[in-house]
Amino acid sequence: MAEPYCVGLFVRIRASVLGPRFSWPYRRGGAWAPGRIWKILPNGCLVVRFPGRLAIGEENRSYFADPAEADKYQHLEDFHRVVRPLLIALGLFTAIKLGLFAGKKLGRSNSRGSRRKTILK
C-alpha cells in the first residue's frame, strides 16, 4: 500500500523504478528530478510540478506520478522559513558593507586628486 500524500509535499520517483508509468523529467546526473505535489486526482494519481524548472512553449509544466512509484523527498526548501530569510539578511549586510567600504575608498581618492589639482594650478 502506498503511503499517504498531501498537496505541497516533495516527491520523486524511487531509485528502484527503471521506467515510471508516466513520463518524468531527469535531473543532471541521471537521477529522477524531485517535484512538488500540486494536486491529487480522485483516482489517486499525483499531479506534480517542478518549482525550479522553466517551461518554454509547449513543454509540460506538470507531470503525473503513480503513488506506488513515488517517494516522499525532504527538500531544503522545506526549511525556507529559517534558511531563506537568514541568507537574504546576510547577503544584504554584505552588500551594504562592501558598498560603504568601496564608497569610502573612492571618496578619498577623488577628494585627494581634486585637492592636488587645485594646489598645482
* Among candidate residues 77, 31, 17, 25, the one with its CA nearest the CA of residue 48: 25
Measured between alpha carbons, how far is 85 from 80 in angstroms, rounded to an integer? 8
Angle among Cα 84, 87, 88 to the nearest 5 degrees reads 85
pLDDT at 9: 82
Per-residue model confidence as pLDDT tens digits over 71-107? 887 766 545 566 777 888 999 999 999 888 888 777 7
pLDDT at 80: 59
pLDDT at 121: 54
pLDDT at 94: 92
Helices (H) and strands (E) in the chain, counts: 1, 5
pLDDT at 93: 92
Percent of residues, the chain, with pLDDT higher than 90: 6
Banded model confidence at residue 7, pLDDT cuts 50, 70, 90: confident
